[in-house]
Amino acid sequence: MTMDLSPVNLREFERAARDRLDPVYYDYFAGGAQDEHTVRANESAFAAIELVPRILRGAEDPEPATSLLGCPSAMPVLLAPTAFHRIAHPEAELATVRAAARADVIMTVAMLSTVAVERIAEEARGVLDGTDPKLWFQLYVQPDQEFTRALVQRAESAGCRALVVTVDSAALGRHERNDRNDFHQLPEDVQCENLRGLGGSDSGNVRRVTLSPEISWQHIEKLREMTRLPIVLKGVLHPADARLAVRNGVDAIVVSNHGGRQLDTTPATIAQLPVLADAVSGRIPLLLDGGVRRGTDVVKALALGADAVALGRPIVWGLAADGEAGVAKVLELMRSELENALALCGVSAPKELSRDLVALRKENSRSREVQA
């Protein structure tokens, strides 16, 4: 169903999605762990950062194109891995990937997607006239090494260009909204298709995912032996872990707190970004997700050291609101806002952004601290 009046920003898409979604499913996507402090902080922390634009710089028209791990993208905005698109819209990940392909941006396919990665890649190739799509694959490393290997091989065979390994999930965060709604099982017609027939299971069987605290750097080493694809660690917040990632040959990291869905009261990702950027010191790409809702948010993240950001919930809101057209509009709005913010900051490309263009608002004070 096409909307009569299209939302004009990403937050309006959330309201449109809420009107269309089953309230139980809305709570699943919108909710976070326990008191949801981190969910709220991810967004509010961006408001505590101000932009300090330069003027009269004779800049060219903004061009936001970039490249990540050898994969070109029309802008430094990716689609973060989000599970269960079919409960947001009947066309599920197929609608999402068509919009991503037409926008020429990278989509990270969730391990728990409701369409198999091969089918997602095929759909994208149809949009791109046979050209290989810009897909990454998100992975929860499993204690069963052969299960992990089978997933990796499936992603490689589908043409995925990187593995995004979620590392903040030693256990499942407690979502009290789901508890109140008694939502702990997918509808019978919704399955995690990437897990079907893997690791020696029957071809019709869907394997269950195991989240385990035993996953360690040794598992990342074993993963490196399984694949030549770049390995991206998603869920890094501590600078010591960022340095270990570099030391262990990881290709990129995502500053992420899982959208506030795992450990509540962790820091907002944008607040933690500068210390992780200092720890990495440009040796590997640094991405960020969590709370990005405006083009100005993207500019702030890039100025503070990120190479790109990823959108999670806003993509789901677009999908729920209007299918492929909704996702396409979300990406169109983000690109338009990003180009506008770049121009108003006096820069023409993301690489020109630097810390001197942001200031941190001090509470109860009109003074500003400009980042050196």
Query: Does residue 234 register a pLDDT over 50?
Result: yes
| CATH number assigned to the domain comprising residue 91 | 3.20.20.70
Q: Is 184 annotated in the active site?
A: no
Tell me if 152 is assigned to some domain. Answer: yes
As for how many domains the chain has, the answer is: 1
pLDDT in tens, 137-172: 999 999 999 999 999 999 999 999 999 999 999 999
Kind of pairing between the strands at 71-73 and 252-255: unpaired
**Angstrom distances, CA of residue 330 to CA of 31, 194, 199, 311, 324:** 20, 26, 37, 10, 10
CA end-to-end span of the chain: 49
Considering 85, 89, 219, 258, which one is annotated as catalytic? 258
| Residues contacting 342, CB < 8 A, separation 6+ | 62, 64, 299, 348, 349, 350, 353
Tell me if 253 is assigned to some domain. Answer: yes
What is the average pLDDT across 187-215? 84
Cα–Cα distance measured from residue 356 to residue 344, given in angstroms and rounded to the nearest whole number: 15
| Residues contacting 153, CB < 8 A, separation 6+ | none
Tell me if 352 is assigned to some domain. Answer: no
Other CB atoms within 10 Å distance of the CB of residue 79: 28
Q: Of all helices (H) and strands (E), which one includes residue 292?
A: none
Tell me if 102 is assigned to some domain. Answer: yes
Q: What percent of the chain has pLDDT over 90?
A: 91
According to the model, what pLDDT value does residue 124 have?
98
130-166 per-residue burial string, b: 16 or more CB within 10 A, e: under 16: eeebbbbbbbbbbeeeebbbbbbebbbebbbbbbbbb
Tell me if 262 is assigned to some domain. Answer: yes
pLDDT in tens, 87-112: 999 999 999 999 999 999 999 999 99
According to DSSP, residue 278 is labeled: H
According to the model, what pLDDT value does residue 253 have?
98
Structural domain of 279 = 32-347
Tell me if 359 is assigned to some domain. Answer: no
Query: Does residue 72 register a pLDDT over 60?
Result: yes
Q: Report residue 196's pLDDT band, with 50, 70 and 90 as the boundaries.
A: very high
Locus of tokens 């990881």 = 250
- Which has the minimum average pLDDT: 4-8, 240-244, 257-261, 321-325? 4-8
Tell me if 14 is assigned to some domain. Answer: no
Tell me if 266 is assigned to some domain. Answer: yes
Q: Report residue 1's pLDDT band, with 50, 70 and 90 as the boundaries.
A: very low
Query: Does residue 69 register a pLDDT over 90?
Result: yes
